[in-house]
Amino acid sequence: MGDVEKISRIKGETLSSEHYFQSLLEQAYMAKMLSDIQLEKIQFDCLSLLAKQTERYNSGDSSSIRVEEAQNLLASIMFTIGVWLKAYPNPDEAVAAVQKDGIYALYQNGRERIDQLLKSTKMLHSSIIGNLVQTKNVFYRSTIVDGIKGFFKRYYPEFAAQEIHITADYPVHHQMESLLGIEFIQKYLECINYENLFCAQFSAEDVHHLLCGYDEHYEQLLFNIYEPVLSAAIGCILSGGDVHRLEMAPSSIKILDDLFRGKTRTEIVEILIETVGQLITLLELTEPLKRYISDSLPKIAELIENAVRLQTLDRVFILPKYPENNTKLIFSFGEKMDDEKYRKILEEIMQCRYLADKKALIKSEIHSLADLEDILLDAELNEEETLSILSELNPAEIAALVKKYPMPSALDRYGLRESQIALCECLQKFLAALPVEQQDLMKQAVVMLDSIEE
């Protein structure tokens, strides 16, 4: 019987977490807990408080203020009062406090509560900075370290308690409640903290390889790191992979696909809950972190349901990738000849009437790809001649040239010489004329060519 809750006349879910005080007054008025006169008095008290705050805001120098600034000050007052009223166990008690304590007292209590929140959030932030996930993702660090520091620097609860100031680009996994000011930052950091705690169960290297499987250039992507890590951990348990290393065999996707195919969202959630139970035992997670993970499951179940339908389950359960093991080709363009000698050969080639003579000269005098590249750019060859010379080269040389002269975008063209653009176009034409298999091989070779020494 101890758990029986008092029935509240105002339902908590009808109140806005963003504009709590305003929605509380609205609901209280609708529930006839506040009369017209009481409501008018509350409004007048709020505006009197606004007048007082305006005077402080202007440091007593100005009796008037812009309407927008007055609205911001009023929003700050409302938010501050709302922060205090949220601390009451139920909305009815909050309404009783509004009637009994008066606006000034509520505002003062709210200010004290915001100061406490600010202190505790700063402490949480320091602890998060000390235990960041070691990742190269730029958004993760720039938001959690620099962004939040920027918030603390600019946050001014006296006159703008409701402001967030930053955009908090890095997304957390949970759908963030609509909150303002310090409440938003506190909630955001709490989510980040839980996600960090979970990711810290795995080595930074394993997380890095997993994220490489998500995208090799994940450093520049704006995405939540916790989601693929949690999905991979669940996938490992379900398919018999190594949870501690987040490593699944390529055949695991088939196993998972068979497991989830034809299941409803509720059935998928049930499977996930059971799996997370095993995961929690394996990783020895704390109670609040368990709750956070459990709350993440409906979203993951939704992803799985869609992925099964679209046959993209490999994008939910990511297989790790090891880019350092990729084959690398290093190609040297060779040394350039003496300038004087090059000029003579170039002049001679340009004076040749026939392509056969030009090719003969190139074959006899040019011995490095670096020199050939210069000739292709400087000898004022037409398209037909260039293509003919390219046809004499071996695939590795073509790949090296394609790597150095890819098809330029419309914007890049502005920075290139006419002869460079012509060479790019000839190379693309040359590639297009090759059989499809050879084109694919050439593309692979271009990707693998990592560094070209000149």
Partner 1 sequence: MAFELSLFGGALVEKQAVNEVMKCNDLTMKFGLVLTEVQALALVETRSFALKENGRIEFGGGVIDKIINKFCDSPYLSMHNYEETLHELLETFYYYKNETLDLMSDDDLIHYMKNAFDGICQGSLELLAGRELYKLARNLRYGYAPDYSDDTIELDEDEEDEYGGC
The site for partner 1 (CB under 8 A) is made up of 22-23, 25-26, 29, 43-44, 46-47, 50-51, 54-55, 58, 61-68, 70-71, 74, 78
Q: Is 61 exposed, middle or buried (0-12, 13-18, 19+ CB in 10 A)?
A: exposed
Nearer to partner 1, 6 or 66 (CB): 66
Smallest gap from Cβ 43 to partner 1, in A, equals: 6
Between CA 178 and CA 174 the distance in angstroms is 12
Query: Nearest distance from residue 54's CB to partner 1, in Å?
Result: 6
Using the minimum distance from each CB to partner 1, give the nearer residue, 34 or 253: 34
Among 350, 361, 438, residue whose Cα is nearest residue 399: 438
Report the nearest approach of partner 1 to the CB of residue 447 (Å).
Answer: 54
For residue 267 the two structure tokens come to: 């059935």
| Cβ nearer to partner 1, comparing 16 with 306 | 16
Residue closer to partner 1, measured from CB, 71 or 264: 71
Spatial distance between the Cα atoms of 390 and 384, rounded to a whole number of angstroms: 10
* Element of type H or E holding 329: strand 329-332
Q: Which is nearer to partner 1, 68 or 324 (CB)?
A: 68
For residue 77, the minimal CB distance to partner 1 (Å) is 9
Question: Could you please report the per-residue DSSP string of 350-410?
Answer: HH-SSHHHHHHHHHHH--SHHHHHHHHHHS---HHHHHHHHTTS-HHHHHHHHHHSPPPPT
What is the phi/psi pair of residue 331, to 5°?
-120, 135
CB of 53 to partner 1, least distance (A): 10
Cβ-count burial 197-214 (b if 16+ within 10 Å, e if not) = bbbebbeeebbbbbbbbb
Residue 180 Cβ vs partner 1, minimum distance, rounded to whole Å: 16
Cβ closest to partner 1, residue 54 vs residue 196: 54
| CB of 62 vs partner 1, minimal distance in Å | 5
Structure tokens at 94: 């909050």
Which residue reads 């795995």 in tokens?
A: 202
Is-contact 274 310, C-beta < 8 A? no
Per DSSP, helices labelled H in 131-180 are: 138-141, 148-154, 157-160
Q: Which is nearer to partner 1, 29 or 152 (CB)?
A: 29
Alpha-carbon distance of 261 to 254, in angstroms, equals: 10
Nearest to partner 1 of 75, 423 (CB atom): 75
Please answer whether residues 246 and 194 qualify as being in contact, where contact means their C-beta atoms are separated by less than 8 angstroms. no
Amino acid in position 167: T
CB of 19 to partner 1, least distance (A): 9
CB of 114 to partner 1, least distance (A): 20
Give 53 or 121: the residue with its C-beta nearer to partner 1.
53
CA distance 258 to 443: 35
